[in-house]
Structure 1
Amino acid sequence: MVARLRPVPDTPPRAVLYLRQSVARDDSISIELQEIAGRDYCAQHGYDVVAVEIDEGISGRTWTKRPAVQRVIDMIESREADVIVLWKWSRLSRSRKDWAVAADRVDVAGGRIESATEPIDTATASGRFARGVMTEYAAFQSEQIGEQWAEVRARRFSLGLPPAGKVPWGWVSRKTHIESIPEQVPIVRTMYRLYGEGRGAAYIAYWLNAQGIPAPRGGDWRPVTVTSCLDSPIHAGLVSYLGETRKGAHEGIISEAEYAKYRRMRDDRSTPKKPRRSTYLLSTLVVCHCGLKRAGSTLTERRQSGRTVSYYSYKCPAATEHTKSVAAWRVEIPVVEWLRSFKVSPAPAPPVSAQADADAIAREILDAERTMDRLTLQLAQDIIPKASYERTRDSLLTEINRLQAAQREAALQTMLPPSAYLDAHADALDSWDDLQVADKQAVLRGVVRSITIRDDGLIEVLPQWGGEPIVLEQAQGVNAG
């Protein structure tokens, strides 16, 4: 068959080289070799190379996650290039649908896609058919690679190894096993402990960054980096694959119970909640001294002048022996003034050693309590006399009390400074008057744990960073309504 000759244009066609290095080792060809082949092909055909776009180390099955392939299609559609040159047809995509969509977009824009090593004249029906065969073969290879990897992952999972070989921060992968990194183990344990105490991922990220501990890929920790690390069951000596979890071939650095507690708390926090639409600034934060939550409520009262005035209040649902409602402005004004005027001074973050000490004390307390349980059981079984039991019991109780006092002291040393909470909201506090109620509520909940209205009328604000509550007086004056 005689090949159809194309007319020679006045200006050389503009070509953009698209290069992609596969993640599959047996299908990976260097970017340099692909570019050399592409430039040689363009030189032979009189093309002017105007751009080189590269997606390195990205699977051919993905499309939206490859920015370079999106750019080359855009260049054809915006008339910045006339032809896309590939090393092989499989470089553009291994997905049948993505290939069809890309080819259609290029054809509609009047461009062409050509391969430097698999030359096919797509201007003819037979050429387009040959290209279809090549792209179908590329899709077949992709599916075959996927099946092989699935077998490998299933095999590794059955041996108690991480299916994909990937391990979280705190671990290193060897050829035949994985093992924990000793200097990172206490840090990972502390991360779980902090989360279990109700500290969020943002708090943990701040603590890690303040310690100068680099993130898995360097740089600063972010909340998503923290949860990505803690989500891995590998820390508890487990491996998971396709929704199934089993005991791994490695020893965990936390217990399965600790990991299960983390997952419960994580799932609870991740449960989608309806957006808050409360118009009450301190909604969910105000507590009565009797222990019940005070809910926002609108009250109407008649003034001495005879005028009826409506205003917001925080109402105790069980108010029978104390003030039932407190005007919202009497509580909101002093709380907001305290928040906006609060001055923080930089304070050093708690050292890792302090966290390790707190963990060690907690383990000592647990050991002492277990000893107490064994001792009580031996007394019940008449293994030891009562006098011996009482002497040992008293000694253990004294030790437990000492350890609990040390634990409280260690907890104070591991507290983060107020700046850990307030710095994140500095911009919002500066523009407080311009914020919507929902945005103000978000700031308050990030800084304030609870607001208690005492029986003497004073207000106690318990900040998120702990310590003694801040005592404020209610705002005075007459509500204008």
Structure 2
Amino acid sequence: MSMAREEMISPDIQRSAITDWARRTGRRIVRWIEDLDETGRNFKRRIIEGITAIEAGEAREIVAYRYDRWGRNAVGSLANVHRVEAVGGQVQSATEPYDAETAVGKYSRTNAFAIAEMQSDIIGENWSAAINNRIERGMTGTGTPRWGYIRKGRIPDLDRPGRYRRDPDDPLGERYEPDPELSGAYVSLYERYVAGEGSHQLVRWLNVNGFRTVRGGQWHMTTVLQLLDSGFAAGLLRVHDRRCKCGQPMRCTKVVYVEGAHKAIIGMGLWEEYLRVRERTRDMGPRTKQALYPLASLIKCGHCGFALSAANAMGVRGFGYRCTIFRQRPDVCEGVWCKRVDAEEAVLAKLREKVSDLDARASLTTAREAMRAAAYADRERLTRELVRVDQSLRKLARQQLMDEGMPEAIYAELRDELLTSRRDLEKELDRTKEEERQADVDHEPVIRGLLEEWDTLPVQQRRAMLARLIRYVKVYRTGPRRPPRFEVRGTWEPEIA
């Protein structure tokens, strides 16, 4: 049995029909299995318990109210019917008297599964059309409450518990308006994240200050990031990319942002900065996101290129940095070690150099122009290569359609190679776009602020600010018992391959 919604066939009616069928046909019911409010598009449901019972010899038949209660995916439904019949069992319908042991009965049952799938597809298409219509009008897809906003124009439907209807006393219709009691906190969340605070710090700040989710619960890292990633505070809607045909829009990571009809709480500048910081920290490990030291993941071995790890020495935690690759692969790297204070001083010296001499502005401008020109040239080259790969993909697809003799394995291998090349090119293209953006950024105010507040800023904020200013710090060995050499490269300087 399935679906407990009022507009559907109630479980009581289904149970009564199945009981009556068993009485008429002389069957004895040994177990009831209910799949209430579960989709019939797959078999990740309790019905698998019944199939397993048939295979174990605990029962001989499974009876559903109708065949569409068995499943709404024709291929999956038939596959699981075959699974039951393969061990001598049968799948019956209490209201559709098809004899599946005859050709006509089997044909009728197959048609019933196909019709059930078609009905499910129609329902899905209508639901998608309704959601798309709302999105085109700048509304959220489902009209659910949003944190930081007050939903107006909708009131609870007393005839249908849990649902809402249009408010006849509100001529402006459905809309979201910023909640004045939460707007300040919403802006603060983005500002804190951009300034370097991690999601766990935002969670603590929200919960300590008495802020609750739209459902009245405590905040967690996942819910905070979902809130910020939604872009709703920037006046945007986060929706599934229609070009993606994955069939799982709720789980897919391919999303786009479209303009919403509601008023924004934060400016686009803050939103874009959040996206940059979010992208930069997305693939970081937990230790890097909640850095204990300002140069975490920025300081690298100049010989092997791997990030250095903090090392304890002289009874001090994090006294220095060392390369651990040489212990695992001495043939790759001989190792390097440095004091943490020396590495940080090398970085600060680099930053002081950029702001100490006013005449350096000319050289800085020249460097930024060179960086912009190099990034532009790289972007043009990568764009041409991306077009070439897309043309190759289209050509390969046409060949596969025209040449029926092309082995599927060869086609799949070539396709995967081209798709991998395309992903790599897109990453490189994103990098060049970021370099072009960096070339237009005036880093001097950030550098001055960091130098002035270095001793008072929390480690996470120092790490976040350094990530905007420093590409890397490379450490090189100079000989036994000799201090290492540091190479510090700023984001205002072109990246060296």
TM-score (norm 1): 0.50
Corresponding residue of 1:103: 81
**Cα separation, partners in 2 of 1:317 and 1:213, compared to 1, 3 Å:** closer
Match of 1:32 among 12, 17, 20: 12
**Cα separation, partners in 2 of 1:146 and 1:208, compared to 1, 3 Å:** same
Q: Do 1:19 and 1:86's aligned partners in 2 also have CA atoms closer than 8 Å?
A: no
Corresponding letter in the other structure for 1:140: M
Corresponding residue of 1:134: 112
For residues 42-61 of structure 1, what are the structure 2 equivalents within 5 Å?
Answer: 42-61=22-41
Aligned residue for 1:162, secondary structure, equals: coil
**Cα separation, partners in 2 of 1:201 and 1:56, compared to 1, 3 Å:** farther
Corresponding residue of 2:337: 314
**Cα separation, partners in 2 of 1:242 and 1:294, compared to 1, 3 Å:** same
1:246 equivalenced with 2:258 (yes/no):
yes
Does 159-168 or 121-130 show the bigger shift?
Answer: 159-168
Corresponding letter in the other structure for 2:2: L
Corresponding letter in the other structure for 2:130: V
1:296 equivalenced with 2:323 (yes/no):
yes
Match of 1:255 among 264, 267, 275: 267
**Cα separation, partners in 2 of 1:186 and 1:318, compared to 1, 3 Å:** closer
Report the Cα distance in structure 1 between the residues aligned to 2:61 and 2:207, rounded to whole angstroms: 48
Corresponding residue of 1:349: none
Aligned residue for 2:116, secondary structure, equals: helix
1:234 equivalenced with 2:214 (yes/no):
no
Query: Once the 2 structures are TM-superposed, how far is the Cα of residue 31 of structure 1 from its aligned partner?
Result: 3.0
Corresponding residue of 1:398: none
Q: Do 1:168 and 1:232's aligned partners in 2 also have CA atoms closer than 8 Å?
A: no
Corresponding letter in the other structure for 1:315: C
Q: Do 1:82 and 1:112's aligned partners in 2 also have CA atoms closer than 8 Å?
A: yes
Report the Cα distance in structure 1 between the residues aligned to 2:126 and 2:228, rounded to whole angstroms: 29
**Cα separation, partners in 2 of 1:111 and 1:299, compared to 1, 3 Å:** closer
Match of 1:72 among 43, 50, 54: 50
Corresponding letter in the other structure for 2:129: E
Report the Cα distance in structure 2 between the residues aligned to 1:183 and 1:94, rounded to whole angstroms: 46
Corresponding residue of 1:189: 187
Kindly name which structure, 1 or 2, has the bigger radius of gyration based on alpha carbons: 1
**Cα separation, partners in 2 of 1:245 and 1:51, compared to 1, 3 Å:** same
**Cα separation, partners in 2 of 1:132 and 1:250, compared to 1, 3 Å:** same
Aligned residue for 1:245, secondary structure, equals: strand
Corresponding residue of 1:264: 276
- Aligned identity (percent) is 27
Corresponding residue of 1:161: 139
Query: Once the 2 structures are TM-superposed, how far is the Cα of residue 136 of structure 1 from its aligned partner?
Result: 0.6
Q: Do 2:235 and 2:262's aligned partners in 1 also have CA atoms closer than 8 Å?
A: yes
Does 213-222 or 253-262 show the bigger shift?
Answer: 213-222
Q: After superposition, give the CA deviation of every residue in 1:437-472 in whole Å (9 maximum; x if it has no partner).
A: xxxxxxxxxxxxxxxxxxxxxxxxxxxxxxxxxxxx
**Cα separation, partners in 2 of 1:120 and 1:297, compared to 1, 3 Å:** closer
Aligned residue for 2:3, secondary structure, equals: strand
Q: After superposition, give the CA deviation of every residue in 1:235-286 in whole Å (9 maximum; x if it has no partner).
A: 221124443433211112222333323233223333488x99999xx94447
Q: Do 1:294 and 1:316's aligned partners in 2 also have CA atoms closer than 8 Å?
A: yes
Query: Once the 2 structures are TM-superposed, how far is the Cα of residue 135 of structure 1 from its aligned partner?
Result: 0.7
Q: Do 1:171 and 1:178's aligned partners in 2 also have CA atoms closer than 8 Å?
A: no
Report the Cα distance in structure 2 between the residues aligned to 1:252 and 1:238, rounded to whole angstroms: 8
Aligned residue for 2:18, secondary structure, equals: helix
Corresponding residue of 1:20: 3
Match of 2:70 among 72, 86, 92: 92
Corresponding letter in the other structure for 2:197: R
Corresponding residue of 2:478: none
Corresponding letter in the other structure for 1:197: A
Aligned residue for 1:315, secondary structure, equals: strand
**Cα separation, partners in 2 of 1:212 and 1:165, compared to 1, 3 Å:** same
Report the Cα distance in structure 2 between the residues aligned to 1:299 and 1:136, rounded to whole angstroms: 62
Corresponding residue of 2:197: 199
Aligned residue for 1:85, secondary structure, equals: strand
**Cα separation, partners in 2 of 1:85 and 1:198, compared to 1, 3 Å:** farther
Corresponding letter in the other structure for 2:32: V
Does 150-159 or 196-205 show the bigger shift?
Answer: 196-205
Corresponding letter in the other structure for 1:143: D
Q: Do 1:157 and 1:240's aligned partners in 2 also have CA atoms closer than 8 Å?
A: no
Report the Cα distance in structure 2 between the residues aligned to 1:162 and 1:58, rounded to whole angstroms: 24
Match of 2:97 among 119, 122, 133: 119
Aligned residue for 1:54, secondary structure, equals: coil
Corresponding letter in the other structure for 2:104: S
Report the Cα distance in structure 1 between the residues aligned to 2:326 and 2:4, rounded to whole angstroms: 68
TM-score (norm 2): 0.49
Q: Do 1:154 and 1:163's aligned partners in 2 also have CA atoms closer than 8 Å?
A: yes
Report the Cα distance in structure 1 between the residues aligned to 2:196 and 2:261, rounded to whole angstroms: 31
Report the Cα distance in structure 2 between the residues aligned to 1:191 and 1:53, rounded to whole angstroms: 47
Q: Do 2:308 and 2:324's aligned partners in 1 also have CA atoms closer than 8 Å?
A: no
Corresponding letter in the other structure for 1:221: W
CA RMSD, 1 decimal: 4.5
For residues 330-341 of structure 1, what are the structure 2 equivalents within 5 Å?
Answer: none
Report the Cα distance in structure 2 between the residues aligned to 1:108 and 1:216, rounded to whole angstroms: 50
Q: Do 2:22 and 2:28's aligned partners in 1 also have CA atoms closer than 8 Å?
A: yes
Report the Cα distance in structure 2 between the residues aligned to 1:122 and 1:299, rounded to whole angstroms: 69
Corresponding letter in the other structure for 1:115: S
Q: After superposition, give the CA deviation of every residue in 1:48-71 in whole Å (9 maximum; x if it has no partner).
A: 33333333333322443x3x2333
Corresponding letter in the other structure for 1:178: R
